[in-house]
Amino acid sequence: MTCKQVHTFSNTNIHLKGEFKLSFSKNNNSNSPESKKNKSKDPLLKSLADNVKIIKKAMGNSNDIIIREVDILKTDKQRIAIIYADGLADKTAITDFIMESLMLDIDSTPDTREEDIIRYLKNFCLTVGDVEDVNDLQSVYRAVLNGETVILLEGQTKGIATSTKSSKDRAISQPSTESVIRGPQESFTETLRTNTALIRRKIKDPNLWIKSRVIGDITQTDVAIMYINGIANDKIVKEVLERLDQIEIDGILDSGYIEELIQDSQFTPFPTVYNSERPDVIAAALLEGKVAIIVDGSPFVLIVPALFPAFLQAAEDYYQRSIISTLIRILRYGGIFVSLMVPSLYISITTFHQEMIPTPMLISIALQREGVPFPAFIEAILMEIAFEILREAGLRMPRVIGPAVSIVGTLIIGQAAVEAGIVSAVMVIIVSITAICSFLSPAYAMSNSIRMLRFPLMILASMFGLFGIMMGAFAIILHVCSLRSFGIPYTAPFAPLIPSDQKDAIVLFSRDSLLTRPRLVNQKNVTREQKQVRKKGRSDLGES
C-alpha cells in the first residue's frame, strides 16, 4: 500500500533588532524563552517500556491519559506507543489519521531500516497537518495535556507530537458586555486559535504577525501576541514581550492575570490596559499600531498601549455618521462628569454653600429633608453603598432572578426609604442619575474607576465644601497626567496636545479626514491612506 505524504512547514522566528528603554524595566529575565531552554529536562529513554512507565507514574496513573502500545511495519515489527488525553484530543482524528495510517497503511520497505524511522513516519505516513519532534519528557507532558497525540518508538530517544486537538468549544455568540445596534454581532470565545482566526478574518494581511509564549509553571497557559509588522512600534512590541517573559507565576486562568502583571502602575484606579471581547475592536486597535495579547481560556483580549480617550470610544461610533457619533461622545464625557461630581456637589452646596441654590429650590429641599435624621453626607454615603450592594447582588445572582432584585431594590426599597423619612427624595434622584451615568462608558473598567473615585470626593466635599472638590479634582487630573501606558502618556492626545489626533478624540471627524494614525502610538507607518488618490478616483467616477 502507498502512504499519503504530508508536508510540514516550520515557523520562522523573527528577531527585532535595536535597543531601547521605556518606563518598565527589570534586570531579572529568568522566565525568558532562552532561560527556559537552559533548564534541565529529562530526556526520553530508548526503552519504550521505561518511557511508558515513567509517564504513567508522573501523571498519577490517571485514567484519562490513554496509552496504547501497538506494532507497525508488518514484516519488520516496530513497537510504538500512542499517548493522548481523553477529552482534550479528537478521537476521530486519532483513529482516521494516526492509527489507521500506522497500523493498516504501512508495509515494510527496503529503505525503512536504512533511513531514520522518525523521518519516515513524519514524511510518508502520518496524514495530519501539524507534526513536530519531542525530545524530552517535559515536552511529552505538555503536548499530551495540550490536546496533542504523542507517538513514542522502541529504540528511539525522540518522539512525534501530532496536532489532534479537539474542536469542542463554545460557539461564537453576540457580545455580552459590549453590545451594539449596528456593527458585527460576534465575540471571542475561550479558545485561543478561534480568537486569532476571528482577527485574521478582519485583517487579511501577511504582516499580521503572532508571537507565542507559555506562561504559568503549572497551568502552562498559551499566550499569543498579535501586531501588524510595519505599523506597530517595534519598541512597544519588544517591551510587551519582555514584560511577558518576566512573569513568574504558577497559573494564568484569565487575561486579567496578565493585565495586572504587565501594567505600568499598580497603584492607580484607572485601567492602563484595554480589554475587549469584540474582534472588530481589536482589529481597529491593531490598525492603529497597537499590540493585542490573547490568552487561551479567556474571551477578553488585551490591547496595549491603552489611553484614556479609548475608554470612552465605542465600536459603534465608527459604524454611523460622524456627527451622530460626536454628539454621543460628548454625552459620554458629560455622563462621566455627572457620575463623578454630582453627589459631592450636592453635599457641598447643601452643607456649606446654600446661597448658591435658588430660593424656591432651597425651600423645596429643606421641606424634603425636614424629617431626615442624617446629614447630607451620611445620607449620600448610605444610598451609594446601598446601590453598590444591589448592583453586586444583581450581577452575582442567577440571570432569571437578577433583574427582579434590581427592580425591587430601585423601586420598592427606594420608595420605602423616602416614605420612612430615612432619606430624601432628592437624594434618591441624585443617586439614580449618578448610577445611570456611570454606565455610559463603553468600557466597564473605566466605570468601576469612576464609581470608586466618587467616594473620596464626597468625603472632601463634606469636609471642605467646593474647595475640597477642587482639591480632589486637581489631584485626579495630576494623577491621570502622570500615568503612562507602555511609555505612552495616558492622556494623549490632550496632554501632550497633538492637534492632528484631535480628529478622533472627543469630536469625531468624517472618514475623509482620518488619514493618519495616532502619532505617539505609531512612529513608523503614520499614513492610513492617500487623500489625493481617493479624490482622483471620485472625480473620474463623476466624469464617467
Residue pLDDT, tens place only, 436-473: 898 888 888 898 999 899 999 999 999 999 999 999 99
CA-CA distance, 436 to 386, in Å (whole number)?
15
Angle, CA 384 vertex, CA 272 and CA 490 arms, to 5°: 15
Q: Residue 264 and residue 273: Cα distance in Å, rounded?
A: 9
Q: How far apart are the first and last CA of the chain?
A: 64
Using the predicted structure, report yes or no on whether residue 6 has a pLDDT greater than 80.
Answer: no
Task: Report the DSSP beta bridge partners of residue 82.
Answer: 68, 151
Q: How many CA within 13 A on the CB side of residue 474? A: 7
Per-residue pLDDT tens digits for 196-232: 999 999 999 999 999 999 999 999 999 999 999 989 9
**Count of CB atoms situated within 10 Å of the CB of 57:** 9
Instruction: Extract the runs of DSSP E, i.e. beta strands, from 170-282.
Output: 208-215, 221-228, 274-276
- Under the banding of pLDDT at 50, 70 and 90, the label for residue 409 is low
Going by pLDDT thresholds of 50, 70 and 90, the confidence category of residue 26 is very low
pLDDT band at residue 406 using 50, 70 and 90 as cut-offs: low
Confidence at residue 75, expressed as pLDDT on a 0 to 100 scale: 61
| pLDDT higher than 70, residue 374 | yes
HSE-CB of 222 using CA atoms within 13 angstroms: 17
Q: Whole-angstrom Cα distance, residue 310 to residue 329?
A: 11
- 445's enclosing H/E stretch is helix 444-464
317 Cβ neighbours under 8 A, 6+ residues apart: 325, 328, 329, 508
List the one residue out of 40, 37, 4, 43 whose CA is nearest residue 152. 43
Q: How far apart are CA 501 and CA 498, in angstroms?
A: 6
Return mean pLDDT, the chain.
Answer: 83
Calpha distance 220→292 (Å, rounded): 20
pLDDT of residue 143: 92
With a pLDDT cut of 90, the percent of the chain lying above it is: 47
Count the neighbouring beta carbons within 10 Å of the beta carbon of residue 54. Answer: 16
